[in-house]
Amino acid sequence: MNKSILGRREFLKRTGWVAVGVTFVGACSGPLLPVMPFSDPPATNEGRFWVQLLPNGKVRFFCPRAEMGQGIAIGLTQVVAQELNLSPDNIETINPATSEIQPVALTVGSESMQAFFSPVAYGAACLRESLRSIAAEQASVPVSVLKDGDAAFLLPNGEEISYRSLANGKSVLLNENDIFPEDIKIYNLDSKRSDKVKKQVWGRKTMEDIVTGKMTYSRDIIIDDMLYGRVIKPDTIGGKLENADIARAQEIPGVRKVFIDKGRNCVAIICDKPFVLDKVEQAVKVTWKVDKPFTQQDMDTALDAKKYLESDDFEHTLAEQGKFRNRAQKSNSSLNNRYQTCFVAHAAMEPRSAVAWVKDNSAEVWGASQSVHFVRDRIAQLTGISNDNVIVHAHRLGGGFGGRILCQAAEEAAFLSQKVNAPVRVQWTREEEFTYNHVQPPFDHIINATVSEKGLITHWKNSFTTAPIIFTSAILPRHIQFLADLSQEDGSPRGAHPPYNIPNLLIRYSDVRIPLVTSSWRGLGAAPNTFAIESMIDELAVLSDLDPFEFRLLNLGNAHPRLKKVIEKVREMTRMDKKLPANYGRGIACAIYKETPVAVVVEVHADPSEKTLKVTQAWIAQDCGRVINADQVRAQAEGNLVWGLSYALKEKGFLEDGHIGIKNYHQYPLARMSDTPKIHIEQIEDFENPPIGAGEPVIAPTPAAIANAIFAATSKRFRQLPISEEDVFS
């Protein structure tokens, strides 16, 4: 067997994109295997290369995670500060370029604190002990007599040896040959030390820079002699460039180059000034050809779960235990319901932008991505330049949410720069963001479930359809997609396994390839899957005539004690025994997102006289292990709650005339400040439990909690999202 293919296969397994058992066979045109993002968690000792002491005595931290508003840079900076006894003024955190840090896992999945806490703490601790050794040698004393001071060490006589004096005008870095004990003291694991760092104010400078416009984003980058480019792409899904008239466009003053590239299926524009681009684009007359437009009806038919259920033909079985008849369970104590969600966009505040300068044997890119090394490798493949000679400078993202793993603007800028041998900036418009970025696919669940007389769930069969989220056409070329179809990905079924103790369980699904480009969206499949599960759980509680809290606790049995604890906590917070006014209702939903248990209760007011629906209050209980920065964790919970509200009540993707029907926010309403309820949050923290994810968990149960609250207020059950006021009062 071909050794190079085996090696690549092993690499794909390591990066999490191919499951064991997939065999690469046959021959095809173009690169057999595409560039893939790196997803391996870091080894603990990698953290040694992310910290250094600067000549001025401050510590520089090369943050290995992309910052997109989730605050992970602040949290990990605190971890460094704890180990090195630093105040916020004594640490400099940067977004490293690809030339400054080895490849690390892409920033996704609420994994950053969980996966990077230990390496960051270890690296900072190693630097601390290295500095202690330098101080001991300088003072001619044993290492053991030096005590910790603020950015310094203290001698027995009280004299201070500052980090600045240890630097002595030079940087201090750790190297591969430095040896440190595996059991080196980690201050972040010492509960007595944690309060000091937590009480300091972290992230203030960052927030000030954002609100005053000082923060540098990729769209702010200006390079001498920089040109401005745009790539005209198909106006319909699956459209092919048939011909284009560029004669008039080439005559417009300020145009540097206009050309047709049928291989890339586009027309490209390069101008001296950005304000000329719109005029030039309007002058280009392009004819696109599509054999058959992909319509909303086509998508609904392709993803119709009922069709797959009738033929009993699903691609993947996620879980199977106990006994199941082929037919649905039918009795007075069973339900058979369908739950559906539409496709949704990321709608990030910042349209993507990048500057690229491609020279003969090197390239430099300024952009923003959830994986800058992935962008580097794709641009290397695009330009034919070795990835060692491609540098991507990382910038803060104005929102990512899974939609910024790719940086299409960077690839387009590199493509144009190579054509004119000059730096080129590409700035996507809001319309391009909605039209050409990938979306979260629709989900269609059909759940059949049965409960006993005691309220115990005895049977659960969930059959659902969606489209791929990880193995998608956003990254995989067509000739390799069939290989991915042989495996089961983690994206579409995330959150589809109920946490409850159910003896007879069957969960199967099909992720159907459709022409619409789908991929990751905040939480992957967790929100739509949890909406279906927790809606059905609520209906089973009603069927059993049991309190929704008690029903959930009863069916958890002895499983998931941390989830039970957050359910009990949120019940305590809400005082659900208190009677509500007319037309008010409360609903609960819960989930374990990866390892983080969370429970959400939502209160709604459905006012029949005004025909208005308002989420008035929300309660969140969450256990994300040890909390490094309580304000940041709270902010993530609040943001996820509002996002889940928007998903449940506002956001609706649709196709129109063969393309995405959304061009801007007026066609895609989002939750606003006026929609935000009063939010109550309790973090259940046990210092003995390591940090786990807080970036996405709350979004998973929120839509179901809202739907369950609407039922409590109106006695109307809604099984399709989004839920509009027209639906509620019709």
Question: Tokens 């101080």 appear where?
Answer: 135
Confidence (pLDDT) at 622? 95
Give domain limits for the chain.
3-32, 44-211, 219-291+352-427, 303-343+439-728
Q: Which CATH architecture has domain 303-343+439-728?
A: 2-Layer Sandwich (3.30)
In this structure, the number of other CB atoms found within 10 A of the CB of residue 638 comes to 16
Instruction: At 614, give phi and psi (nearest 5°).
Output: -135, 130
Token pair recorded at residue 468: 């791929």
Helix ranges (H only) for 315-361 are none
Cβ-contact 144, 408 below 8 angstroms: no
Cβ-contact 504, 460 below 8 angstroms: yes
Domain 219-291+352-427 annotated CATH 3.30.365.10: yes
Inter-CA distances, 329 with 556, 679, 717, Å: 22, 40, 21
| Each residue's pLDDT tens digit, 513-555 | 999 999 888 888 999 999 999 999 999 999 999 999 999 999 9
Token pair recorded at residue 29: 């045109």
Mark the ranges of the chain whose per-residue pLDDT is less than 70: 1-33, 194-201, 324-331, 576
**Distance from C-alpha of 482 to C-alpha of 148, rounded to nearest angstrom:** 58
Sign of CA dihedral 409, 414, 417, 422: positive
**DSSP SS3 for 392:** strand
The pTM (predicted TM-score) of the whole model is: 0.90
* 219-291+352-427 shares the fold of 44-211: yes
Which amino acid is present at 713? A
Cβ-contact 95, 68 below 8 angstroms: no
Domain 44-211 annotated CATH 3.30.365.10: yes
State the pairing for strand pair 152-154/147-149: antiparallel
Q: Which residues pair with 154 in a beta bridge?
A: 147, 160
Confidence (pLDDT) at 268? 96
Sign of CA dihedral 530, 536, 537, 539: positive
Confidence (pLDDT) at 197? 60
Confidence (pLDDT) at 131? 94
**Distance from C-alpha of 218 to C-alpha of 398, rounded to nearest angstrom:** 10
